[in-house]
A and B are shown apart, each in its own frame.
Chain A
């Protein structure tokens, strides 16, 4: 198992900080040092994207809405096992 990196790009001017922080907290509690990093990217245009090692696993524009934390945790878990 090798560390993976998660990036959360959120629309700052839409007030999406709480959702970004909630997801960050869930990732930190679940995986701790197994992650090489969690990067928060303040953006605009209604964005809420989550990528794991460069693979986009959730896009507000593509999927609509915010991701379920459980789905992101599951995707990270799968990545950690396969990495």
Chain B
């Protein structure tokens, strides 16, 4: 057992987490509006024999939380089979340290799926690998097509303000364009995880 029922109940519901956000709520809601749950994923979650309890570790300053938590929120809302409780990572280090990324990083978000008896069934961390790979490739393309941005690994504080602002705008545009792909990948990975644990 990784968590007690009492501890789990102390977590915030998705809506309570949103209500308590001190920043980025508009960005999160913009991402919510872009999430489209595909039929295969909807069916997989709706057909779960028993509801799952999902422990989430998050913070409202984290870009990956703002991007990916809305997907889980939409899955919970549309399937009715997920009980989601959100814990702030920095106030729950005992929890985050159980699900470190690569065994050493406190990456968020973390989604931990449990059965009704709080037996852990599987977990998901940060973002899909395919998103990380595509982002790296597109980032390299941006630098290749804009010599004014300098080498990709050079410190950005060396860039003139207007060039740095242009680079930031390009990176933001890249993330915006990638959102549909990223949302689909999150769904695919979560669906595969749930299908895998449901088969046990």
Contacts and interface: CB of A to CB of B under 8 A. Distances in A.
A49 B63 contact: no
B177 interface: no
B100 interface: no
A47 B158 contact: no
B39 interface: no
Given A41-B164, A44-B171, A7 B157 contact: yes
Contact of B156 (A13, A17, A43, A54): A43
Contacts of A24: none
Report the contact-size class of chain A (Cβ under 8 Å from the partner).
10 to 19
B153 interface: yes
A41 B61 contact: no
B62 interface: yes
A41 B157 contact: yes
Contacts of A15: 59, 61-62, 90
A22 interface: no
Contacts of A44: 63, 171
Interface string A10-51: 001111010000000000000000000001010110010101
- Residue picked from B62, B158, B168, most chain A C-beta under 10 Å: B158
A47 B156 contact: yes
A18 to B, nearest CB: 10
Contacts of A43: 156, 168
Nearest to A62: B153
Contact of B157 (A9, A12, A13): A9
23 contacts: A9-B155, A9-B157, A12-B61, A13-B61, A13-B62, A13-B63, A13-B64, A14-B62, A14-B63, A15-B61, A15-B62, A15-B90, A39-B157, A41-B156, A41-B157, A43-B156, A43-B168, A44-B63, A44-B171, A49-B156, A51-B158, A59-B155, A61-B153
